Amino acid sequence: VAMETASLEQQIQSVQRHIAFLKKEQTELLHDLHLEILRLQKHCAELTHDLEMKELEAQQQEALERELEQRCRAMEARLQERERDNAELRRELRHKEALVAALRGSLRGKERAFLEELKRRGHRAARL
């Protein structure tokens, strides 16, 4: 009976050592898992931040592109307006050039008539 008691006590001590070893291993494993969870949470927070920054940059880029597109459309509208104004000014210039040409022709005709009249008067004066 004493031997069985000693054997049982040895088995109990062995089981207690195994339990202590398993508790220690479990504690270390839980600690390592906790550290890994913290690392993953930090990594997730960094990735979330990066994603938010990229989304913000994308939104800013889209806003900039919309603004540039609006400015481009406004500039195109101004260009078309100026092209219309230039076309109108060209038409007016051609019309005025035609008037100037007509006035020059008329002036030349009057100048010739005046010179002829002057010659006639000069001849009359010479005859008188």
* pLDDT (tens place) for every residue of the chain, 128 residues total: 778 888 999 999 999 999 999 999 999 999 999 999 999 999 999 999 999 999 999 999 999 999 999 999 999 999 999 999 999 999 999 999 999 999 999 999 999 999 999 999 999 888 87
The structure's pTM equals 0.51
Separation of alpha carbons 70 and 76, rounded Å: 10
Residue 118's region, left for phi above 0, alpha for psi from -120 to 50, else beta, is alpha
Give me the pLDDT at residue 127, please: 87
Separation of alpha carbons 126 and 118, rounded Å: 12
Give me the pLDDT at residue 12, please: 95
Half-sphere exposure of 73 (CA within 13 A, CB side): 5
**Tokens (6 digits) for 75:** 């500039």
Separation of alpha carbons 43 and 48, rounded Å: 9
Q: Give pairs for 14-22: CB < 8 Å, separation 24+.
A: none
Q: What is the DSSP letter of 1?
A: -
